[in-house]
Structures are given as structure tokens and as C-alpha cells.
Amino acid sequence: MQRRLMTVDDVADYLSKPRSWVYGNWKAEQIPFRKVGQSLRCRPADLEKWLDSQN
């Protein structure tokens, strides 16, 4: 089974937020990105868990 990591653009689309908002707030909002080389990537399951934990 292939699991695709989400890019910043994917996360922005999923959250209906601008890409600039995601880049500007990922640390403060604790969006579960991981650094892969120079890029940020997120597992879809981790993003779902993060969303479920939001108030």
C-alpha cells in the first residue's frame, strides 16, 4: 500500500487556508509537519489527529 505524504499545498487545500497561513503558523499551531530535506511533509493520519485535538 502506498502512503502519500501531504505537502504544504495539500494541507492548505485541506484546511481551506492560504499557503502563506500554513507556512506562517505551522509551528505555533503545532501542525504535525516533519522536515524531509528542505521540505515540510505531513502524514494524512497525523493531520486528522491534529484536527480532532483542536478546540
Under 8 Å between Cβ of 14 and 50: no
The distance in angstroms from the start CA to the end CA of the chain is: 33
Which cell numbers hold the place of 3? Answer: 502512503
Cell 501542525 belongs to: 31
Task: Give bridge partners of residue 42 from the DSSP assignment.
Answer: 6, 33
Per-residue pLDDT of the chain (55 residues), as tens digits, is 557 999 999 999 999 999 999 999 999 999 999 999 999 999 999 999 999 999 7
- Rounded distance, CA 21 to CA 36, Å? 20
Global pTM?
Answer: 0.89
